[in-house]
Amino acid sequence: MGSATEAFKNHCEAWDAQDRDRWMSLFSPAVVLEDPVGVAPKIGQEALDKTWDRSHREGRRWTLEPRRLVECQNEVAVDLINHGAIDGQTLRVESIEIWRVDDDGKIDLVRVFFDPDPAVNDPYYVPQ
């Protein structure tokens, strides 16, 4: 089994490089995304597709800055800064995230805790 820390670091590298294929390959087909916690969980390949497409569409760019990672067993807790640019507006979203890997080292659960930036008016990310 690969470590959760390794999987998370690979996620950051692929995300920042905008390498969709590499990013997708890191996840279990049955992945559950609670992004953020409080909205309906997003499950499987469709969830990955939508997450990627919403974040990497025209006029949007996000990069990740992990500040602290704490690994226990097959999970890692991350203190993260998400640097964004949406239609020319610069955003900074701080999050606490939990990433879990399965026995094959694939990411199978992501739980993201953050206060949504009011500038990101996207119901996909805002708890109802």
Does the residue 121 lie in any domain?
Answer: no
Angle at 10 between CA 34 and CA 81, to 5 degrees: 60
pLDDT digits (tens, 9 = 90+) for 101-118: 999 999 999 999 987 666
Does the residue 79 lie in any domain?
Answer: yes
* Count: domains in the chain: 1
pLDDT digits (tens, 9 = 90+) for 28-72: 999 999 999 988 999 999 999 999 998 999 999 999 999 999 999
Does the residue 101 lie in any domain?
Answer: yes
Does the residue 127 lie in any domain?
Answer: no
Does the residue 123 lie in any domain?
Answer: no
Judge whether residue 128 has pLDDT over 50.
no
CB 128 within 8 A of CB 52: no
Can you tell me the distance from the alpha carbon of 124 to that of 128, in angstroms, rounded to the nearest whole number? Answer: 10
Total count of residues recorded for the chain: 128
Does the residue 52 lie in any domain?
Answer: yes
CA pseudo-torsion sign 67, 63, 84, 33:
negative
DSSP, collapsed to helix, strand or coil, labels residue 72 as strand
Q: Domain containing 85: what range? A: 4-115
Check which CATH number belongs to the domain holding 11 and give it.
3.10.450.50
Can you tell me the distance from the alpha carbon of 128 to that of 126, in angstroms, rounded to the nearest whole number? Answer: 6
Does the residue 128 lie in any domain?
Answer: no
How much is the mean pLDDT over the chain?
91
Does the residue 71 lie in any domain?
Answer: yes
